[in-house]
Structure 1
Amino acid sequence: MLNVALCSYGMSGKVFHAPLIAAEPGLNLHTILQRSEPTALADYPQVNIAKTFEEIIANPVIDLVVVNTPNELHYPMTKAALLAGKHVVVEKPFTLSLDEGNELIALAQQQQKILSVFQNKRLESDHLDAQKIIASGALGRIVEVEWHYDRYRTNITHKKWKEDKLPGSGTWFDLGIHMVDSMLCLFGKPGAVYADMRSLRRAEGSTDYFNVCFHYDDMRVLLRSNTFVSEKGATVSIHGDKGSFLKFGQDVQEGQLMQGVIPGKSGWAQPGDDNYSVQHTHHHGETKRQVVAGERGCYEKYYRNIVEAILDKAPLLFLPEQSLLGVELLLAGEESARNGVLIYLTSDSQQRKSYDPRYLP
C-alpha cells in the first residue's frame, strides 16, 4: 500500500482528494498538512498532521504527495517533492507558465517518478456523454461545440488567489481549464483562439465571465462561463451535419462527496433524472429524436490509475504533457482577451514559453 500526503485540507482536499484516496485500496492517507488547527482529525483520526511541507517531503515513508494548494504554489511544491523522490499529483491548473511545466516534466522523468494533474472532469457524465456520441459518428461531421460552466455566485470569497486580479486567478484558470482539457481530449489542439473575458462582480476583480472561441479547420468550439446564471440551459451542445446533441444536468459525484457518499457505496455516481441528453439525428431521410440517460461518472478511476502507474501495472492516463498544453491555451486565451485579437497557436509549444502572466503587461 502506498502512503499519501495531502498538502491542504481546504475544499479540494476535504471534498475530492481525501475521500477518493481513502476509498482506493492501494492507497493509505498517511499525512495531511495543516499549519493551524488539525481539523482533518475529525474526519480521519488515524492520519498524521504535519505542520510544515518540509516535514512531508523529508518523511521517507511517504510515497505520493498531492499538491492541492493555491495555483502559485503548484510549481515550487511539486519541484521540491520530486527532488525529494516522491511521486506527485498536482491540482489543476498544472503551472502558471510553460517554462515551469516543462521543467517539472523533465524533472519527473529524471527522477523516474509519476507526475500527474488531477483532471477529474474527464470522469464526469458531461465529458463521457460527449465522448460517446462523438465516437459513435451519429452526428456526422462536427461543425460546432458549445460548452458551459455557469454559476450563480454573487458573493466574493476570502480566497485572493481566486478572486483578486493575480496570475492564474479567476474562473478562466479555475473552471475554463476543465473545458479546455475536455476539448483537447476530444478534438486535439486547435489552430487559433479569440477570447472575451471580464469581471462582472467588481471591476478590480479576477475574471468571472468568459466567452472563448477556439478555431479548428472545419469546426468552432465555444467555451463559456458566467457568474450570474440562475437558470441553466444545456451544459454541452454539439452540432454536426447529421444531427445535434444537447446535454443537461450536472454530474452528481461532487455533491455526493460533500455528503459523505464515496465510491463503493450504494448509489455512487448514479445520474439523477435531471442528468440526460437529447439526441436529434437525420439518417437516410429519417429523423430521430431520443432522450438518453446520462453516463455514470467514475472519479475512482483517477487514483486507481495512479496506483497502477506507480506500480508499473498500467500506463499513466492523466499525463502532465496534456495538462501543460491546456495551460498553453489558457495563456493564449488571456492574451487574446487582453489585446482583442485572434491568436494563432503554434504547433511547437516551446515557442510560447514567453506567455508567463507574471511578466506580461
Structure 2
Amino acid sequence: MAAVTKRRVALVGTGFRGAGTWGKELLATCGEWVELVGLSDSNPMRLERARAAIGVHVPAFADCSAMLTETRPDTLIVCTPDDTHARMIVTALEAGVDVLTEKPMTTTAEMCRTILAAERRTGRRVDVGFNYRFSPTARAIKEVLLSGIIGEIVSVDFHWYLDVQHGADYFRRWHAFIAHSGSLFVHKATHHFDLLNWYLGADPEEVFARGALRRYGRAGPFRGPRCKLCPHADECDFFFDLARHPWLETLYEDPSREDGYVRDACVFREEIDIFDTMTAAILYQNGVQVSYSLNTFLPIEGYHLAFNGKKGRVQIRQYERQAWETPAEDEILVLRNFGPAERIRVPHQPGGHFGGDPALQRMLFVPDMADPLGQRAGARAGAVSVLCGVAAVDSVRSGAPVKVMPLLGGEA
C-alpha cells in the first residue's frame, strides 16, 4: 500500500482554540493525514507554551508571512482575533496557500468582499470552521428537512441560550468590543445564521434587529481592574479564578506580561460596547420568516429550534448545561399535521460540540471524504453568515430593516 502524503498545515493564533482544537486535537484525530509544519503567534511566550502543549518540534514565528515563506504549507489555519482574519486569509491566498479559518470568517462587509475577491483571483480555497453543521443532531435535522416530511417550510423559531459561565466569558475577553468581534451578532451568531442558511438552502433577504446591554458592561453594579486584582471579588457573582483553569492559565496568565492581554478582565468594564440581549426578525429570499434571539446571562445553556412547514413541524430543545440532569442525547420531534408524531433520538458523540469538531476535521483533511449534505462551508457561506450579523448591528443602530445580500456588492 502506498504511503499517505500528509497535508502540510501551519497554524496562526495559538490561544485556546488554536492550540487545542486545531493543534492537539487535530493531530489526535487526523495525524495520519496531517503534518503540522509551523506555528505563529504575536505573543512569544504563548507561542512556546502552545508548541510544548501540542507536543511538536516545529519552527515558531512571530510573523505569519515569514512562516508561510519558510514552511510552505498547503493549508493555513487561522485562529487569531476575528478582526485580523481577513489579513491572514488574504496573505495566505496570495502566497498560494489554502485557508481554514475559525468562525466568523471576518467582521465587516468590506472584509468579506476582500476575501471573496482574493479567493477568486488566486484560485485557492477558503474553508470556514462551522463545526455546528457537523454535530450528529444538525445532520439529523438536515436529513429530516430534506425528506420533505413537513412540506414547504414557512417559518422558523430559533432561540439560543448562553449561561452565566459561557455567556459571561465573552465579556471578559477581546470579544467584548465591536471593533474586534463585530459584536455577538457576528462572532457567536455567525454559527446560528450559518445553520439557518444551510438548513433552509437559501440566502437571507432582510434583517430587522434589536440589541441592548442589560447585564454586563456599564449595567454592572461595580467594576475592577481584573478579577485577580478586584476588590469586589467576594461579592461578584461573575468572579473568575483563572488559577482553577490550568490550561487557560498556561496560555494567558504569564504571557499577559508580553502584551497586556488578560484572560480575566472585568465583565463590567464601562467601555464594553457589544450587546448581551439580542433579537432579530429575518426574511429569507424564499419567503421563510425567522424569529431569532440570543441571550448571554441565563441559568441554562443550549437552544430551541423549530421549523414550521405546510404539513407539520420539526422541533428540538437542545441541552448543554442545565440546572438538572439531562440525557447524553438530543431528541428531535417530527410532528405531522395529520398523522402520527415521531421521536428521533440522537446520541452525543465524543469530541467538542457533541462530535462536531472531529467530524469537521475529518471532512477537511481525510482524502476523498463524501459530503452528501453539503456540510463543508466555503468563503461564500462564511460571508453570508457574517453579513447577517453585520446587517443586524446596522439595524440596531438605524432602527430600520437592512437588506443583506447588497452588502456583498459585486461579490454576490
- Note the alpha carbon deviations across 1:284-303, whole angstroms, 9 max, x for none: xx3x2332212664433434
2:181 is equivalent to residue 168 of structure 1: yes
2:206 is equivalent to residue 192 of structure 1: yes
The within-5 A match list for 1:1-361 is: 1-22=6-27, 23-24=29-30, 25-34=32-41, 35-37=43-45, 38-53=48-63, 54-153=65-164, 155=168, 160-166=173-179, 168-187=181-200, 188-200=202-214, 201-203=216-218, 204-205=271-272, 206-216=274-284, 218-231=287-300, 234-250=303-319, 273-283=328-338, 286=339, 288-294=340-346, 297-307=355-365, 317-346=376-405, 349-350=408-409
In the alignment, which residue of structure 2 is the partner of 1:262? none
User: How many angstroms apart in 2 are the aligned matches of 1:159 and 1:49?
Assistant: 31
Aligned partner letter, 2:162: R
SS at match of 1:4: strand
Contact 1:172 1:208 (C-alpha < 8 Å) held by counterparts? no
Contact 1:234 1:246 (C-alpha < 8 Å) held by counterparts? no
- Note the alpha carbon deviations across 1:268-296, whole angstroms, 9 max, x for none: xxx9534222222233xx3x233221266
- Note the alpha carbon deviations across 1:320-348, whole angstroms, 9 max, x for none: 01211222222111111111112234568
Contact 1:126 1:235 (C-alpha < 8 Å) held by counterparts? no
Q: RMSD of aligned C-alpha atoms?
A: 3.2
With over 3 angstroms needed to count, the CA separation of the structure-2 counterparts of 1:251 and 1:118, relative to structure 1, is: farther
Aligned partner letter, 1:139: I
What TM-score do you get using the length of structure 1 for normalisation? 0.80
With over 3 angstroms needed to count, the CA separation of the structure-2 counterparts of 1:209 and 1:317, relative to structure 1, is: same
User: How many angstroms apart in 1 are the aligned matches of 2:400 and 2:410?
Assistant: 19
With over 3 angstroms needed to count, the CA separation of the structure-2 counterparts of 1:165 and 1:96, relative to structure 1, is: closer
Contact 2:116 2:380 (C-alpha < 8 Å) held by counterparts? yes
- Note the alpha carbon deviations across 1:182-210, whole angstroms, 9 max, x for none: 11112211222111112231245212221
Contact 2:11 2:79 (C-alpha < 8 Å) held by counterparts? yes
With over 3 angstroms needed to count, the CA separation of the structure-2 counterparts of 1:272 and 1:59, relative to structure 1, is: farther
Contact 2:301 2:320 (C-alpha < 8 Å) held by counterparts? no
Q: Which has the higher contact order (CA 8 A, sep 6+)?
A: 2
Q: Which runs of 5+ in 2 are unaligned?
A: 1-5, 219-270, 350-354
With over 3 angstroms needed to count, the CA separation of the structure-2 counterparts of 1:8 and 1:341, relative to structure 1, is: same
What TM-score do you get using the length of structure 2 for normalisation? 0.71
